[in-house]
Each structure stands twice: as C-alpha cells, then as structure tokens.
Amino acid sequence: MANPLYRVQEFPEVFADACLRDSAGVLKFLSVYGRDGSLMQFEAALQLGHKEGGVKRFHLIGDDNTRHAVEVGSVDALTKYSGRLPRQNVFGPLSQLWLYDKALTDIDRANRIGWALHRGSPGQGPVERLGGLLDQAWDLTRKLSPIALQDAWRVDLQGWCLEKRAYQRLDDGIYPPLGQVEAMRVSISDHFLRYVSAQVQQKNFVL
C-alpha cells in the first residue's frame, strides 16, 4: 500500500486509498482497507442509510487533514468485491473492500455507453495518468463503435470526443478523484458515427 491513505472519519479503523465521486459528490468507486470487523461495520452502516446506526455521508481525511465528503447515494446501485492482504504485511491481518457503481463495469451496448477505468502508479504525474486513461477509453471506444476504427484515427477522434463531451472524466473540481484510480464515461452517439463517416468520405480518414 504505497499510495497515500485517507482515514474514514466516522470509522477510524477503516482507510481508503482511492475514491471517485460524481459532480454531486455521490460515491462511484471506493477502495478501503481494514480488519474484517471494521469493514463489516462500515458496510453495514452504508446499507442502513438514514436508519439508526447508518450513514448517508462519510468523510475521508488526508495527510493534510482536508475533509472530503462522500455521499453514499443509492446502495442498490453499488456492488462489492473483497479480498485479504497477505498475512506477512506490516499491518497485520487486513482485508480490502471495493465498492463501486455497477455502471462502471457494465457496458450498455444498446446505448453504446461504458466506463474506462485506469489505476495509475505511485509517482505518476497528471499527464501520465491521463494518458493511461485515454488508452483505456480508446479500447472501449473501439468496442462500442459499430464502425471499425483505425488506430491512425485515434488522436483526431479522441480530441473530438473530449471537445464534444463524448468522453467525460470523473474529475469535478469540487469532488476530485482521490488516489490513483481514474474513470471516464465513453458515449458513442449517432453524432460520433456521422463525424467518422464524414471524415472517411472527405478522405481525412484513410481506410
């Protein structure tokens, strides 16, 4: 766990190394560590919501003591995955829990919408992280597009997608990504397909 950790204020024995929120501050992805009992208590509180002992919002505290609010939103939209860390780690017997919006991993092929995810390495700068995310976004774009896309078109097409918001990164200024995980929504609309067809017809894109 070389990445910076964020303490969950309401659950002092639970620590996060990555969190993504949408523009309303609602949880989209969370990676947390803790002992089994602490993680179970945290997960149960999210499930309870406004009921007694539950939470609809929690806060992540960084090394600089900045508080980052996370709205839980609908727990029905979240799925989870968990695993144990090797026992020989310096923190003792710990488990890791991932909570994430199902939409992040489910491709909507009917509407040609999906999410590109990328986990950067510690020490990577913003440009390198964005490059890794765009690599994943391009792979997804090719999967979603009913038109075969050539790699030679990538720079032009990704520039168009960013300009027209066919690519939407989870990087809201009020609710920035925490940790090394990045996400980008990819939407292949009819407008995109018309643009590709026009570029081919004008011989700007060579088949």
Supply the pLDDT for residue 1: 45
Average predicted confidence (pLDDT) for the chain: 93
Higher pLDDT among residues 135 and 85, named by residue: 135
Domain boundaries, the chain: 6-104, 113-201
Question: DSSP label at 121?
Answer: P
Split at pLDDT 50, 70, 90, the class of 134 is: very high
Higher pLDDT among residues 55 and 52, named by residue: 55
Instruction: Name, in order, each residue with C-beta under 8 angstroms of 22's C-beta and a sequence gap of 6 or more.
Output: 28, 170, 172, 175
pLDDT in tens, 74-116: 999 999 999 887 666 555 678 999 999 999 999 999 999 999 9
Percent of the chain with pLDDT over 70: 96
Q: What share of the chain is helix, strand, coil (3-state, %, to 5)?
A: 30, 30, 35
Helices H, strands E: what count in the chain?
4, 11
0.85 exceeded by the pTM? yes
pLDDT of residue 184 exceeding 70, the answer is yes
pLDDT of residue 158 exceeding 70, the answer is yes
Instruction: Name, in order, each residue with C-beta under 8 angstroms of 10's C-beta and a sequence gap of 6 or more.
Output: 45, 55, 58, 59
Supply the pLDDT for residue 91: 58
Supply the pLDDT for residue 101: 96
Which residue in the block uniquely carries the two structure tokens 């309870």? Answer: 48
Class of residue 107 by CB neighbours under 10 A (exposed 0-12, middle 13-18, buried 19+): middle
